[in-house]
Amino acid sequence: MRAHQLVAALLALSVASAYLSLSAQRPPPSVDGRLLPAATDTFTVSYSGTVIGQGIMARSIAGSRLLQVYRWRSAQGDSTLDSLFSDVRTLRSQREVRVVTDTVIEVTYTNDSILVTTRAPGAPPRRQSAFAATSAFSSAILDGLVAAAPLAEGYQQEIRFYYAPPAQLGIVATRIAVEGGEMVVDRLGRSRDAWRVVASTPSGATTFWIDKATRSILKFDTQEGPATIEFRR
């Protein structure tokens, strides 16, 4: 083989190898927020068999934005209101406003940073920022992102979530994986074909049951040590 033919063959082999390497490194298929139903859900939350509170979540779409509003009220009467604006297609977090009692926490998300402004009565606004090597989602959209993922047997992906104050977790890597399918009986007594999806972090895991047809969340459980927190519609 002539020298120039050998060089051409090696170059072609290098290009092919590089292409295969890049193909192997491509991220899994992206989520599609348009799969999420615009609806209002109510969840009763129990810990070790005792009801500890109730959550109400409403999602609506305005243009290219998804607005998610979540209100939590504990059995003791404490309440938290969380409003999250996300891109309706990718579910990338844009802005979050959290009201905890009389304190307002505003979070602004960009491609590589997170800016948090906390406003409490009788105190000047307190600002802090966090650098993210890659963009992170708000932890408030975890269940929505799970439901909007391209769920199928064997699906798994690692995603970074930011837990806004008063939580102190910061950015946490979460592994989302489909463990299989399962029939679930809903509150009306109907059998629903669902995906069983587990979101795992270093400190615990949450199991979601997602209706295959509607992508609605039928129920989910969070494991904390020996106890399980149950969320039921």
Q: Higher-confidence residue: 106 or 229?
A: 106
Q: Is the pLDDT of residue 26 over 70?
A: no
Given a contact cutoff of 8 angstroms between Cβ atoms, the answer to whether 97 and 80 are in contact is no
Q: pLDDT tens digit string along 197-209?
A: 999 987 788 999 9
- pLDDT tens, position by position, 85-103: 999 999 999 999 999 988 9
| Complete domains list, the chain, with CATH | 30-232 (2.50.20)
| Local structure of residue 111 (DSSP, 8 states) | S
Q: Indicate the burial class of 56 (C-beta count within 10 angstroms; 0-12, 13-18, 19 or more).
A: middle
Q: Quick check: 36 pLDDT over 70?
A: yes
**pLDDT of 15 strictly over 60:** no
User: What is the Cα gyration radius of the chain?
Assistant: 22
Percent of the chain with pLDDT strictly greater than 90: 48
Contact 196, 184 (CB under 8 A): no
Kindly state the helix (H) or strand (E) to which residue 76 belongs, with its residue range.
none
Q: Which residues contact 141 (CB under 8 A, 6 or more apart)?
A: 68, 84, 86, 91, 93
**Distance (Å, whole) CA 145 – CA 86:** 11
Whole-model pTM: value is 0.78
Contacts of 52 (CB under 8 A, 6+ apart): 45, 46, 74, 75, 229
pLDDT in tens, 116-163: 999 999 999 999 887 765 678 999 999 999 999 999 999 999 999 999
- The string over 183-212, giving b where at least 16 C-beta atoms fall within 10 Å of a residue's C-beta and e elsewhere, is ebeeeeeeebebbbbbbbeeeeebbbbbbe
Return the pLDDT at 2: 44
Tokens 């806004």 identify what position? 164
